[in-house]
Structure 1
Amino acid sequence: MTVQKVAFVTGASRGIGLSISQMLVRSGYKVYGICKHPEKCDFKHDLFQLIGCDLSNSKEIDHLMNQQILEKKDISLLVHNAGLAYFAPVEELSSEKIREMVNLHITAPMLLTSHFTRILKQNQGRIIFIGSVAGKEISPWGNVYASLKAGIHHYARELFAELRKFGVKVHLIIPDITKTDFYNYLNFEPDDDPKSYLLPNQIAEVIEDLILEDKGWVVPEIQISPELFKLKRKKQN
């Protein structure tokens, strides 16, 4: 009897997370998707189950980890994708926004990784972190977001070194400008030129190439960038 492949994906209801989830479903995975507002996701499939959880709230994370997921022991893929960004001069970022970003980008991935690592060791599974090029560069007004991404990049690299001896593969995917609703709360967005941004399904394609064939070697880190670098400021109403 073939064991069902099971994946756990955060931020799964939209953007990059949804594209990854759809790719996994097409590949035969049962996907447990975590998101804040499951009701806003239009994608439905027998192999796709959304679970509501605000990953910036540690109490909700505790509740999530205690939920009875039938195939929990079969999880072989953990994808950390959920994220959001507030860009502003450091003195203008509220304590609520700073805490929300810290919890979502650092606390949640670390708690979930700790929770699932024993299962992933047993299944010789994978952990995928969706980072950001902002974590490699100096970002004006992106001080908190970029610093947190740099932190999770380093965490992923540490895990790669720690877990490879147990057969757990860790990948850090670093997308550059990607056309999603990530930019809804920012005063800039990708340019109209299609060569200046990535699409979520392109990130999913890269991950598909990594996970579907076990070739006996691992690519621990990949940066994906569009051909051109162009941004534009949003028009003020």
Structure 2
Amino acid sequence: MAERLSGKIAIITGGGRGIGAGITRRFAEEGATVAIVQRNPPPDALLDERVTYVKADLSNSANIASAVQSVVERFGGLDVLVNNAGIMFEKTIDEMTESEWDQMMNINLKAPFLLTKQAVPHFRKRGSGTIINIGSIEGLASNPRHAAYCASKAGIHGFTAAIAVDHGHEGIRCNAIAPGWINSALSEIYIDGMTNSARVRKELLAMHPVGRLGEPRDVGNLAVWLACEESAFVTGQVYVVDGGRTKKLPLPIA
């Protein structure tokens, strides 16, 4: 079968771990040239002839501009931008400082704006381009103590629609993926830190109608489709990837 992203040049922010790494691997498997843009180097095992690393502090607008320009100069253009990098912490608004709120918005919402702003002129030169924003089911509902995170992800969902509307006439599409629980090293640490981690794992699994938790590759598979020509008539949408979790109504029974 032909590689669906053959010849495509893509930037994936935070593409070196977790969901980002799942997207990076799937893009590379489908023939894309991928630039992982993030602060720290990704694992060497993720880098090869199709995947390279560009260092950038995504809280710094100058770093963002130089990273995008570096990718374009090195590979000759840009076709896909995946705004994946993000942070999360758990605090109510009573516990949260103004600087912590600003940090969340700077990384989760402002950086995708700045990256998109830098990418669009290069898409125009190609006559087309695709943006994939990684939102969250917490842009649709909330876990406790996630006020800033939820606000940032709901913002990403709204930003996705606006970019699709403003730039569709230029051949630029923009969609979002809203993942649910996706297994990663960080999620394992989070569960292991709980008092009864075995019970938590069992209850978490029961929340998912498909009978398993998500994997980074699940998100990567959808990202490939959104980046390729098969989805040419799709834009402005938010796709929930959560194993049915948000569709399952809770009942007070075992």
**Shorter-chain-normalised TM-score: which range?**
0.7 to 0.9
Question: 1: CA distance between counterparts of 2:138 and 2:231?
Answer: 31
Cα root mean square deviation, aligned: 2.7
Closer/same/farther in 2, CA of residues 227 and 154 from structure 1, 3 Å limit: closer
State the partner residue of 1:200. Answer: 216
State the partner residue of 1:217. Answer: 233
Closer/same/farther in 2, CA of residues 228 and 103 from structure 1, 3 Å limit: closer
> For each residue in 1:110-163, what CA deviation from the matched residue of structure 2 results, as whole angstroms up to 9, or x when unmatched?
111011101112321100001001011133200001001111110111011111
- 8 Å contact from structure 2 (residues 71, 77) kept in 1: no
Shift of 1:109: 0.6
Q: Pick the aligned partner of 1:191 from 190, 194, 201.
A: 201
Question: 2: CA distance between counterparts of 1:182 and 1:140?
Answer: 18
* TM-score, structure 1 as length reference: 0.84
- 8 Å contact from structure 1 (residues 57, 103) kept in 2: no
Q: Pick the aligned partner of 1:90 from 86, 90, 93.
A: 93
Shift of 1:87: 0.7
- 8 Å contact from structure 1 (residues 24, 31) kept in 2: yes
Structural mapping, 1:156-195, within 5 Å? 156-183=160-187, 184=189, 191-192=201-202, 193=205, 195=211
Identity between Structure 1 and Structure 2 (%): 24
Q: Which structure 2 residue ranges, 5 or more long, are not aligned?
A: 1-5, 249-254
Question: 2: CA distance between counterparts of 1:62 and 1:168?
Answer: 19
1:14 aligns with 2:24: no
Which of structures 1 and 2 has the larger relative contact order (alpha carbons within 8 angstroms, sep 6+)? Answer: 2
Q: Which moved more, 1:174-183 or 1:100-109?
A: 174-183
Q: Which moved more, 1:204-213 or 1:55-64?
A: 55-64
Shift of 1:185: 6.2
Q: Which structure 1 residue ranges, 5 or more long, are not aligned?
A: 231-237
Closer/same/farther in 2, CA of residues 147 and 41 from structure 1, 3 Å limit: farther
Question: 1: CA distance between counterparts of 2:149 and 2:214?
Answer: 20
Question: 2: CA distance between counterparts of 1:65 and 1:202?
Answer: 27
* TM-score, structure 2 as length reference: 0.79
Q: Which moved more, 1:151-160 or 1:171-180?
A: 171-180
- 8 Å contact from structure 1 (residues 196, 227) kept in 2: no
State the partner residue of 2:53. Answer: 50
- 8 Å contact from structure 1 (residues 130, 172) kept in 2: yes
Shift of 1:44: 2.1
- 8 Å contact from structure 2 (residues 35, 71) kept in 1: no
- 8 Å contact from structure 1 (residues 87, 142) kept in 2: yes
State the partner residue of 2:252. Answer: none
Equivalenced residues, count: 228
Shift of 1:88: 1.4
- 8 Å contact from structure 1 (residues 176, 224) kept in 2: yes
- 8 Å contact from structure 1 (residues 5, 74) kept in 2: no
Shift of 1:57: 3.4
Closer/same/farther in 2, CA of residues 227 and 137 from structure 1, 3 Å limit: closer
Q: Pick the aligned partner of 1:121 from 106, 114, 124.
A: 124
